[in-house]
Structure 1
Amino acid sequence: MFTNYEAAVDWIHSRLKFGVKPGLKRMEWLLEKFHHPEQKLQVIHVAGTNGKGSTVAYMRHILQEAGYKVGTFTSPYIETFNERISINGEPISANDMLKLVNEIKPFVDKIEETELGGPTEFEIITTMMYVYFGKYNKPDFLLLETGLGGRLDSTNIIEKPILSLITNVGYDHMNILGDTIEEIAAEKAGIIKDSVPVFTTAENRAALQVITEVANTKNAPIHRYADEMKILDHQSFEDGEKFSIQTSHRTYEDLFISMMGEHQTKNALLAVAAMDYLIQTGIAHITEQQIRKGLKHTMWKGRFEKVLTNPEVIIDGAHNIEGIESLVKTLERHYNNREIHFLVSVLEDKDYAAMISKLASVATSMHFTTFDFPRATPSYKLYSVCSIENKTFHDDWQDILLELLNSYENNDNSLIIIVGSLYFISLVRGYLLN
């Protein structure tokens, strides 16, 4: 038994040594011991390469505006470990976390003695989440983000969600999900269940074909971006994006989001289409006004988030090529007349050469660093693949960050963008805000 929260969380993190073990057998074994709490929940399941967290955030704010109690399961965390399991945006308490760990650990010890072996960190957190929401603090809706892929992801133990959402499909986690876009799409499409509607903003034709085929074999009605749901009249403003949305039922005109970027309009589209489905089927009562307010009030930490104004500093957890492309488009759309100085740290399993090349196309200067994390790329490696002349590398991220802040203070034309791994972004965000 653990007597304090810190020891409990240390034990969860100690499970990292088990790595990633795709498959649902251990989840089935563990949840059976708790009489399948996941079966008691109304779930909207979200998979995709990018945009899962933002889509969940939009849906949460809309449902909260409509007076619902909303559970969320997201990863990774940005401020506190507990935020992965939240109700109405409030992370689970340290005390509840401690109780859950003590409740689950005896079963973890038992399963380790079987041929199934020890559960991973993510499997343990997922089990805790299902037990918490299914047994102790039941929400009206649970918005559930996959950790990795979909088909064999720990969250995919649910048999009958209300909806399945797939954001986009890109090249990420290829060592686990597959080398081709079709293989990766098949893994994401693994969350599609028999007769459960699926909504997707995936645009890659090969990926979309795979998702459509899986939906058809499972008799799952499919709603696709630019077919059954569309974005109309998109305009960018200094403080966000304005656009209209057409779903298969109706048009929502002149919506506004405070999160910047064309990619965010697609995440908002997916969220609104899902909410529109809940309205049409009578599963939820949501007014157009509640949708408008929910969208406008949505912010998502670490996603194109302005954290300082002098100098102006934006942090963005773009950690794969699709995320970087969205970031560059947003910068071109909103900040094309500014000097842009990047501070970058990326994990080794990413295509960092392509990512850096894309950033360099809009950069005035580029600065590379690393941080204390097992898969963090050494700063000199990032530096070596960068083609622009105005570049530096530093192993101490705090030193180079302070240097950049001092260099560009009181310089209205300069913009500092800190980008890369969400683990890195989380560290920097905490440092700057504290």
Structure 2
Amino acid sequence: MFETYEQAIDWIHARLRLGMKPGLSRMEWMLEKLEHPERRIKTIHVGGTNGKGSTVTFLRSILQSAGYRVGTFTSPYFEQFNERISINGQPISDEELVKLTNVIKPLADELDQTELGGPTEFEVITAMSICYFAKMSPVDVAIYEVGLGGRFDSTNVIHPLLSIITSIGLDHTAILGDTYEQIAFEKAGIIKNGVSVMTGVKQPEALEVIKKKAMESKSPLYVLEKDFSTSSRESLQQGEQFSFSSMFGKYKNLETSMIGSHQVDNAACAVMATQVLANYYSFMIEESDIREGLIHAYWPGRLEALSAAPYVVIDGAHNEEGINALASEIKSRYADKKITILFAALKDKKFDKMIATLEEAADHLVFTTFDFPRAASAEDLMEAGNSDKLSVASDYHDFLRQKITEIKDHEILIVTGSLYFLSEAKPVILNLLENK
């Protein structure tokens, strides 16, 4: 049995050696042993390539504004491991995490000895979250973010009130397939019989896959810009403004404090979800709750300005679609600024097109690496580039230390790439800004 937080975390992280093992059999085995706690929780399931975390945050914030106690299960964590299991935005305590680990470890040990094999790190954490929301600290509703794909993701053991598929992009192609249709098929795996689905997916071929799955499952489907829509979009200095319309009602001039036109799509999916909850599941959600929830929603590392003078922004753009969205915002928001971008990526990503897009967006593009087993080297990234505005920073701490002291009023430093990199770099940047 574990007595300290450090012991519990070390054991959880040690499960990473098992890698990714698609399939639900190990989760189903553990939940059977736990007497099916997943059946005691009302849940919402959020999948997609990009926008999952932001959509979870918008939805959680609206429900919290309406007075509900809302659990969230998200990944990866940004500043603290405990963030992955939170209630009303507050991570579980170290003591609670130790208790949960002591519940799950004996099951993992037993499962290790079966033909199914031991549970992965993500399966262990998913089981812990279900126990937490069902037994240790019950919630009114829990929002589950898919880890990878959907069909075989460990979160797919829940039977939600509704499902959301935010977007489809060419990410994790070695596992999910290398076409929009193949990836959409995996994402659509979270659609359950008769359970309403809302989606912000835009590619026609991907949308057809989702429509087919929804039809087969007899699941009502709500599509962005068809069944619910946005209009009067406007970028604000610290967020976005838009109007929303659906068969359930209209809201004019909604505002978010999260930057980017893609965040309007995510917010719209969240608003549509609250309308379905209100109209079909008796959730008491007022227009004022929607307005308050959207404006107060905060998700770290998504076009997050850490400082205005010097101007430093971080953004977890870690795949082609995310990089495209970042480049679009740079063009529309910061056209009059000189842009320096610091970029790090994982070596299992296809970063050629990402780098080409960043080259167009930046005046100076700097490649670096970080302390993570799957991190690409700065030299590998440099080889994928093709311009005279590129350089390498072998130690990003040294680069940041110097750069932050010399940023001029007309310049912006944007730190982007892997979320694992951003979670490591953000406290370094904040410390340098504080001591500047």
Which of the five TM-score ranges fits, normalised by the shorter chain? over 0.9
Could you say what secondary structure the match of 1:374 adopts? coil
TM superposition shift of 1:137: 0.9
Residue-by-residue CA offset, 1:9-61 (whole Å, 9 max, x unaligned): 01100011100000000000011111010111111100000000000000111
Partner of 2:59: 59
> Which consecutive segments of 4 or more residues in structure 1 shift more than 6 A?
none
- Out of 426, 429, 433, the position equivalent to 1:429 is 426
**CA RMSD of superposed structures (Å):** 0.9
Partner of 1:382: 381
1:431 and 1:278 mapped to 2: Cα distance? 41
- Out of 412, 415, 426, the position equivalent to 1:415 is 412
2:343 and 2:292 mapped to 1: Cα distance? 34
TM superposition shift of 1:329: 1.1
Could you say what secondary structure the match of 2:61 adopts? helix
2:241 and 2:28 mapped to 1: Cα distance? 44
Could you say what secondary structure the match of 1:404 adopts? helix
Amino acid at match of 1:303: R
Partner of 2:367: 368
2:120 and 2:399 mapped to 1: Cα distance? 35
Q: How does 1:313-328 map to 2 (within 5 A)?
A: 313-328=312-327
Amino acid at match of 1:111: L
Residue-by-residue CA offset, 1:154-173 (whole Å, 9 max, x unaligned): 00011x21001000011111
Q: How does 1:218-297 map to 2 (within 5 A)?
A: 218-297=217-296
1:48 and 1:356 mapped to 2: Cα distance? 23
TM superposition shift of 1:261: 0.8
Residue-by-residue CA offset, 1:66-98 (whole Å, 9 max, x unaligned): 110000000000010000000000101100100
Amino acid at match of 1:334: R
Partner of 1:357: 356
Could you say what secondary structure the match of 2:365 adopts? strand
Residue-by-residue CA offset, 1:248-290 (whole Å, 9 max, x unaligned): 2211111111111110000000000000111112431011011
Partner of 1:92: 92
Could you say what secondary structure the match of 1:313 adopts? strand
| Residue 201 (structure 2) pairs with residue 202 (structure 1) | yes
Q: How many aligned residue pairs are there?
A: 431
Could you say what secondary structure the match of 1:35 adopts? coil
Residue-by-residue CA offset, 1:318-375 (whole Å, 9 max, x unaligned): 1000001111111112111111100000001112110011111111101110001111
Could you say what secondary structure the match of 1:376 adopts? coil
Partner of 2:146: 146
Amino acid at match of 1:207: A
- 8 A Cα contact 1:237 1:334, kept in partner: no
- 8 A Cα contact 2:48 2:165, kept in partner: yes
TM superposition shift of 1:433: 2.4
2:309 and 2:253 mapped to 1: Cα distance? 32
Could you say what secondary structure the match of 1:71 adopts? strand
Partner of 2:115: 115
- 8 A Cα contact 1:151 1:190, kept in partner: yes
TM superposition shift of 1:383: 1.4
TM superposition shift of 1:241: 1.0
1:282 and 1:40 mapped to 2: Cα distance? 16
| Residue 125 (structure 2) pairs with residue 125 (structure 1) | yes
1:261 and 1:425 mapped to 2: Cα distance? 18
- 8 A Cα contact 1:242 1:256, kept in partner: yes
Amino acid at match of 1:365: H
1:428 and 1:163 mapped to 2: Cα distance? 35
1:403 and 1:196 mapped to 2: Cα distance? 53
TM superposition shift of 1:203: 0.2
1:361 and 1:217 mapped to 2: Cα distance? 43
Could you say what secondary structure the match of 1:272 adopts? helix
2:430 and 2:38 mapped to 1: Cα distance? 36
2:274 and 2:27 mapped to 1: Cα distance? 29
1:75 and 1:272 mapped to 2: Cα distance? 22
Could you say what secondary structure the match of 2:347 adopts? coil
| Residue 175 (structure 2) pairs with residue 184 (structure 1) | no
Partner of 1:395: 394
Mark the runs of 5 or more structure 2 residues left unpaired by the alignment: 432-436
Could you say what secondary structure the match of 1:278 adopts? helix
Could you say what secondary structure the match of 2:305 adopts? strand
- 8 A Cα contact 1:236 1:333, kept in partner: no
Could you say what secondary structure the match of 1:267 adopts? helix
Residue-by-residue CA offset, 1:280-325 (whole Å, 9 max, x unaligned): 1243101101100110111110111111232210000010000011
Could you say what secondary structure the match of 1:361 adopts? helix
2:335 and 2:250 mapped to 1: Cα distance? 32
Could you say what secondary structure the match of 2:272 adopts? helix
Could you say what secondary structure the match of 1:327 adopts? helix
- 8 A Cα contact 2:343 2:416, kept in partner: yes
Could you say what secondary structure the match of 2:12 adopts? helix
Which region of structure 1 is more displaced relative to structure 2, 245-254 or 340-349?
245-254
Amino acid at match of 2:409: D
1:4 and 1:32 mapped to 2: Cα distance? 28
Which region of structure 1 is more displaced relative to structure 2, 75-84 or 273-282?
273-282
Which region of structure 1 is more displaced relative to structure 2, 280-289 or 139-148?
280-289
1:389 and 1:402 mapped to 2: Cα distance? 23
1:193 and 1:425 mapped to 2: Cα distance? 34
Could you say what secondary structure the match of 1:172 adopts? coil
1:206 and 1:367 mapped to 2: Cα distance? 36
- 8 A Cα contact 2:359 2:389, kept in partner: no
Describe the shift of the 1:348–1:237 C-alpha distance in structure 2 as closer, same or farther (beyond 3 A): same
The TM-score with structure 1 as length reference comes to 0.98
Partner of 1:103: 103
Amino acid at match of 2:125: I
